[in-house]
Amino acid sequence: MVEETGRKVIVIGHRNPDTDSICSAIAYARLKQAVTGEEHIPCRAGAVNPETQYVLDKFHVPLPELREDVRTQIKDIEIRKTKGVRSNISLKEAWSLMKELGVVTLPVTTDNRLEGLITISDIANSYMNVYDSAILSAACTQYVNIKETLDGAVAVGDEMDYFDRGKVLVAAANPDLMESYIEEHDLVILGNRYESQLCAIEMNAGCIVVCDGAPVSMTIKKLAEEHKCTVITTPFDTYTASRLINQSMPISFFMRTKNIVTFDIEDYTDDIKDIMASKRFRDFPILDKDGRYRGMISRRNLLGMKRKQVILVDHNERAQAVEGIESAEILEIIDHHRLGSLETISPVFFRNQPLGCTATIIYQMYKEAGAQICPEVAGLLCSAIISDTLLYRSPTCTQVDKQAAEELAGIAGVNTKQLAREMFAAGSQLRKKSEEEIFYQDYKVFDMDGTSVGISQISSMDSDELEELKKRIVPFLEVMRSKHNVDMLFFMLTSILDESTEVLCDSAGGVQLLEQAFPGSRAVDQAVPLPGVVSRKKQFVPALMMVLQS
What is the separation of C-alpha 340 from the centre of its chain, rounded to a whole number of angstroms?
29
Is residue 122 pLDDT above 80, yes or no? Answer: yes
State mean pLDDT over 512-522.
93
Percentage of residues in the chain with pLDDT exceeding 70?
99
Domain regions of the chain by residue span: 2-72+308-427, 75-126+253-303, 140-248, 435-549
- Residue 197 confidence (pLDDT): 93
- Residue 109 confidence (pLDDT): 96
- Residue 205 confidence (pLDDT): 95
CATH 3.40.50.620, domain 140-248, yes or no: no
CB atoms within 10 A of CB 173: 14
Q: What is the pLDDT of residues 91-102, one digit of tens each?
A: 999 999 999 999
Q: Residue 117: what are its φ and ψ, rounded to 5°?
A: -135, 140
- Residue 1 confidence (pLDDT): 42
Q: Just give the CATH number of 2-72+308-427.
A: 3.90.1640.10
Angstrom distance (rounded) from CA 327 to CA 444: 21
Is residue 129 pLDDT above 80, yes or no? Answer: no
- Residue 54 confidence (pLDDT): 96
Is residue 168 pLDDT above 90, yes or no? Answer: yes
What is the band of 119 on the pLDDT scale with cuts at 50, 70, 90? very high
Q: Just give the CATH number of 75-126+253-303.
A: 3.10.580.10
- Residue 466 confidence (pLDDT): 87
Angstrom distance (rounded) from CA 212 to CA 210: 7
Q: Mean pLDDT lowest for which of 1-10, 355-364, 367-376, 508-517? A: 1-10
Task: List residues bridging with 330 in a β-sheet.
Answer: 310
CB 389 within 8 A of CB 420: no
- Residue 153 confidence (pLDDT): 96
Contacts for 313 with CB less than 8 Å, ≥ 6 apart: 11, 12, 13, 21, 24, 25, 28, 333, 334, 335, 358, 362
What is the band of 525 on the pLDDT scale with cuts at 50, 70, 90? confident
- Residue 188 confidence (pLDDT): 96
Is residue 2 pLDDT above 50, yes or no? Answer: no
Is residue 3 pLDDT above 50, yes or no? Answer: no
Q: For the residues of 275-339, what is the DSSP string, one character each?
A: HHHHSS-S-EEEE-TTSBEEEEE-HHHHHT--PPEEEEES---GGGSPBTGGGSEEEEEEE-S--
Q: What is the pLDDT of residues 351-367, one digit of tens each?
A: 999 999 999 999 999 99
What is the band of 242 on the pLDDT scale with cuts at 50, 70, 90? very high
What is the band of 130 on the pLDDT scale with cuts at 50, 70, 90? low
Could you give the C-alpha distances from 82 to 65, 283, 289, 497, 548, in angstroms and in order? Answer: 30, 11, 19, 64, 59
Is residue 48 pLDDT above 90, yes or no? Answer: yes
Tell me the range of 168-182, 262-276, 424-438 where mean pLDDT is highest. 262-276
What is the band of 154 on the pLDDT scale with cuts at 50, 70, 90? very high
Angstrom distance (rounded) from CA 29 to CA 50: 22
State mean pLDDT over 199-211.
95
Q: Residue 278: what are its φ and ψ, rounded to 5°?
A: -85, -10
State mean pLDDT over 118-128.
86
Angstrom distance (rounded) from CA 177 to CA 196: 10
Q: Is the pTM of this model over 0.85?
A: no
Is residue 4 pLDDT above 70, yes or no? Answer: no
Is residue 337 pLDDT above 80, yes or no? Answer: yes
Q: Mean pLDDT lowest for which of 75-84, 160-169, 174-183? A: 174-183
- Residue 6 confidence (pLDDT): 55
The bridge status of strand 528-531 relative to strand 309-313 is unpaired
What is the band of 269 on the pLDDT scale with cuts at 50, 70, 90? very high
Could you give the C-alpha distances from 295 to 57, 111, 276, 301, in angstroms and in order? Answer: 39, 14, 16, 12
Angstrom distance (rounded) from CA 402 to CA 24: 16
- Residue 235 confidence (pLDDT): 96
Tell me the range of 20-34, 188-202, 281-295, 527-541 where mean pLDDT is highest. 20-34
CB atoms within 10 A of CB 326: 15
Is residue 259 pLDDT above 50, yes or no? Answer: yes
State mean pLDDT over 299-310.
86
Task: Give the class (CATH, top level) of 435-549.
Answer: alpha beta
What's the chain's average pLDDT?
91
State mean pLDDT over 304-326.
92
State mean pLDDT over 526-547.
91
Is residue 305 pLDDT above 90, yes or no? Answer: no
Q: Residue 472: what are its φ and ψ, rounded to 5°?
A: -80, -35
Is residue 526 pLDDT above 70, yes or no? Answer: yes
